[in-house]
Amino acid sequence: MTGSVSKAQAPNHTGGHAIEDHDARHSAGRRGPDDTRFGSIPSRLRSIPAQAGSGHARRGTWDRYRRRRAALLGLALLFGLASVGVLAGLVAPGDPFRSSGAPLQAPSLRHWLGTDDLGRDVFAGVVHGARLSLAVGLVAALTSGIVGTLVGSVAGYRGGITDDVLMRLTELVQVVPRFFLALLVAALFGPGVGAITLLLGLTFWPMTARLLRAQVLALRAQDFVLAAHALGVPDHRILVRHILPNAVPVAVVSTALQVGSAILVEAALSFLGLGDRSVPSWGNMLNGAQPLIRIAWWTAVFPGLAITLAVVAANLVGDGLSAALNPRLQGAGSRE
């Protein structure tokens, strides 16, 4: 009797487990899409700012960056050039405008890069010129990056009339020729370093704004943004803490590329005589080397080589930062 009862109960016991398993699978299947969009999203939302401020995330960023040899080379070149500029008084002591030998001497042990037509040491000019050229490039790129990030993020996130107005302003700034503005600024305020730097910073930002706007437009339709809206997260918090960390690699790359572009434009303006002649710069050296290129190649080659190295280094650093700062690549370093 007992055995029959046990046998009778056994199917019910097994069936109960089967029903529970079926319900669990059915419930899991039913929750799947909702869980993907709303169940796991809060943890992702919390993880983005936590990763950005954690020591582990910083170590991961550096690990991803250093795995790229070209990025390390660019960082070493840029750091070396910046160090030379900062320590110019120690690397090449003395006044770079003072004559230190006979004119147009070829590179030698005494004058490593030769002398120009006034007997000034080319090595001293290149070393002291790094300070101005890099400072103009970095400050102009940083200014344009900040302005472009503000304009692009607001335009992409707000949309509507705000987007239209900001994009029309962006197009207006983008079509104005920089050299025409440089001529106007030089005529009104004189060929000062500050005026040129401000001019470059306020005319380079449209590219960053357009790229960041496109990225924000794509990100604001993602599930984690929709979930944040559903949770009642304020718009400014969504933009600053959840959208911009995913969009900032675009701005970083654009800003890093603008460092090289700003150096080139400053050198071109100085080459045309629109720079500050009282301050040593690579562009001013190229301006003075124009009539000497056939008889003293070193007066133009070494300043030009310094400009090339600075531009290439900035581009390589920007490419490395693009991969290292992308939150979507965190934890995927093994695939790089």
What digits encode the pLDDT tens for the residues 17-46? 443 444 444 444 444 433 433 333 334 333
Higher pLDDT, 183 or 89: 89
**Distance between alpha carbon 17 and the CA centroid of its chain, in Å?**
57
What's the pLDDT score for residue 46?
Answer: 37
**What's 166-211 look like in SS3?**
HHHHHHHHHHCCHHHHHHHHHHHHCCCHHHHHHHHHCCCHHHHHHH
CA of 19: how far to CAs of 6, 7, 16, 23, 28, in Å?
A: 19, 19, 5, 6, 14
pLDDT digits (tens, 9 = 90+) for 113-135: 999 999 999 999 999 999 999 99
The encoded tokens of residue 330 equal 């965190």
Q: Which helix (H) or strand (E) holds 287?
A: helix 282-289
State both tokens at 250.
């675009």
- 3-state class (DSSP) for residue 21: helix
DSSP letters, 43-62, are HHHHHHHHHHHSHHHHHHHH
Question: Tokens for 294?
Answer: 């056939």
The shares of helix, strand and coil residues in the chain, as percent rounded to the nearest 5, are 80, 0, 20
Note the pLDDT of residue 56: 52
Give the pLDDT band (50/70/90) at residue 328: low
Residues 326 and 68 sit within 8 Å (Cβ to Cβ): no
DSSP 116-183: -TTSBBHHHHHHHHHHHHHHHHHHHHHHHHHHHHHHHHHHHHH-HHHHHHHHHHHHHHHHS-HHHHHH
The answer to whether residues 147 and 204 touch, using CB atoms and an 8 Å cutoff, is no
Treating both helix axes as pointing N-terminal to C-terminal, what angle do 178-189 and 193-201 enclose, rounded to 10 degrees?
Answer: 150
Q: How far is CA 323 from CA 97, 116, 247, in A?
A: 43, 43, 12
Is residue 88 within 8 A of residue 126, CB to CB? The reply is no
pLDDT tens digits for 42-97?
343 333 343 344 455 566 777 888 888 899 999 999 999 999 999 999 999 989 99
Cβ contacts of 316 within 8 Å, gap of 6 or more: 70, 71, 73, 74, 75, 77
Q: 10: pLDDT confidence band, cut at 50, 70 and 90?
A: very low
How far is residue 225 from each of residues 45, 48, 251, measured CA to CA in Å?
Answer: 9, 12, 20
CA 242 – CA 222 distance, rounded (Å)? 11
CB contact at 8 A, 330 and 51: yes
| Cβ contacts of 146 within 8 Å, gap of 6 or more | none
The answer to whether 299 and 289 have CB atoms below 8 angstroms apart is yes
Question: pLDDT class for 182, splitting at 50, 70, 90?
Answer: confident
User: Using N-to-C axis directions, what is the helix angle for 122-158 and 298-324, rounded to 10°?
Assistant: 30
CB-based contact 108:211 (threshold 8 Å): no
